[in-house]
Amino acid sequence: MNTKELGSRPTGFRPLRMLGIAIVWLVLTLLTLWAVAALYVDFRVSWLRVPITVVYVLAIVVVLFKVKRRLWAAVLCLAGFCIVLTWWLSLKPSNDGDWQADASRTASVDIDGDKVTIHNLRNCHYITEKDYTDCWSDRTVYLSQLRYIDLFFTTWGPKYIGHPILSFQFGDNDHIAFSIEARYKVGQSYSAILGFFRQYELVFITADERDVIRLRTNYRKDEQVFMYRTTVSADRAREVFLIYANYLNKLRDHPEWYNAVTRNCTTTLDSQIAEDVKNPQPWNYQLLLNGTLDELLYNRGRLVTGGLPFPELKQREHINDAGKAADDSPDWSALIRAGRVGF
C-alpha cells in the first residue's frame, strides 16, 4: 500500500462535508434573517429602523462577497448575529406605558391565611367591544371556598390557534377568571409575527366572567367559546390558583415580555401547573399549536365528559347562544352553566 492510498479519505467524506457546510450556512441564513427582522421591528428609535437595518444587511453582503475564506465569512456572520442578539436581550419590559384602557392596570393579590384580596379585578360594563366603563374594583374570596376550575376555550377560525381561560369557582357562584394575554399600548393590536419579538408585555387579565368571557360570546365577532368543567380536585385547584396569584405579583414587580412561543396563553404556566396536577403527562405539540387543546385535555382525562365522545361534548359545551341570552344578568355565570355537562 503506497503513501497516497494511506492518506486518502473515505469515499463518503466529501458528500458529508458538503452536507455539513450546507447546514451551517442554512443556520447562518436563518439567524441573519432573524437579526434583520429584530432590528426592523424592535429598534426603539423608529426613524432609525430602516437605516440601521440596511447598514446591517450591507455589512453581511460585504462579508459574503469580500471575505474569500468561507470560514472567516461564517464567523463574521455569526458575530453580527451575536451583537444583535445581545442588544435585543438588553431590551427591558416595563409596566409604564400608554396602555389601552382595558389593560391599563395590572392585578395583584394579597393573601392573609384563608382570605384572598384581588386588587384591580376587571369587570367592565360593555356597550360595544371597544366601548366600556367602570372596569376596576377589588374583590375578596376565601381559599377554603374554592371548589372547581373550569376551562373556557375560545377559537376564531384557524385550526391550530385557540385561547384558554381558567376560571376558579368560589362558593356557589363567584368566579374569578384568568386570561394570559399580550398587553397592548394604544394603537397596537395582535400580530402573530410581532409576537415573536419584543413588542408586547405579558399581562394576566384577572376578571369577572361577565367581563372576560361575555366579551367573547356577546361582543367579539367570529369568536366561539366552549366551557368545560375540569376534573381537578378542590385541593389541587387551590394550588393552581396560588400559582396564578404568585405570578400576578411577580409581574407587578418584574414585568416580562410576551412571546408567541415561550410566554403565551398556554406555555407561560404549563410546566408549573403540570407539576402540581396529579398524574402529569409529557409535553405535546398541541400545547403550542393549541387550537385543539380542549381535545388534548379530554384525551388526558382532565375534563368531565359525562361519558360523551369529544365531538358531542364540544357541541354541548358551546356557550355563545347562552351568553347572549343571559345578556347582562347578574346571574350570567350561573345561566351559562345551566344544563351543561358536569355542572
In a domain, 40, yes or no: yes
**Domain housing 202:** 101-337
Identify the pLDDT of residue 158: 84
Domain boundary among 89, 118, 143: 89
Identify the pLDDT of residue 256: 97
Identify the pLDDT of residue 275: 61
Are 132 and 173 found together in one domain?
Answer: yes
Are 192 and 328 found together in one domain?
Answer: yes
Per the prediction, the chain carries an average pLDDT of 92
In a domain, 94, yes or no: no
In a domain, 95, yes or no: no
Are 170 and 315 found together in one domain?
Answer: yes
Distances (CA, A) of 27 to 56, 79, 87, 193, 262: 18, 13, 20, 20, 21
Q: How many domains does the chain have?
A: 2
Are 81 and 174 found together in one domain?
Answer: no
Identify the pLDDT of residue 11: 60
* pTM beyond 0.85, yes or no: yes
In a domain, 96, yes or no: no
What residues are paired with 225 via a beta bridge?
154
In a domain, 342, yes or no: no
Identify the pLDDT of residue 279: 53
Are 285 and 153 found together in one domain?
Answer: yes
Identify the pLDDT of residue 104: 95
Are 85 and 105 found together in one domain?
Answer: no
Identify the pLDDT of residue 14: 83
Identify the pLDDT of residue 39: 98
| C-beta contacts of 68-75 below 8 A and 24+ residues apart | 70/21, 74/24, 74/25, 74/28
Identify the pLDDT of residue 224: 97
Read off the DSSP letter of residue 230. B
Are 109 and 179 found together in one domain?
Answer: yes
Identify the pLDDT of residue 1: 47
pLDDT tens string, the chain, 343 residues long: the values are: 454 444 555 666 788 888 988 999 999 999 999 999 999 999 999 999 999 999 999 999 999 999 999 999 999 999 999 999 999 999 999 999 999 999 999 999 999 999 999 999 999 999 999 999 989 999 999 999 999 999 999 999 888 899 999 999 999 989 999 999 999 999 999 998 999 999 999 999 999 999 999 999 999 988 999 999 999 999 999 999 999 999 999 999 999 999 999 999 998 887 777 665 555 667 778 778 888 999 999 999 999 999 999 999 999 999 999 999 999 999 999 999 999 999 9
Contacting residues for 108 by C-beta, under 8 A, at least 6 apart? 118, 119, 120, 248, 249, 252
- Per-residue burial over 143-168, b if 16 or more Cβ lie within 10 Å, else e, is beebebbbbbbbbeeeeeebbbbbbb
CA angle, 258 as apex, 253 and 259 as ends, to 5°? 145
Identify the pLDDT of residue 282: 73
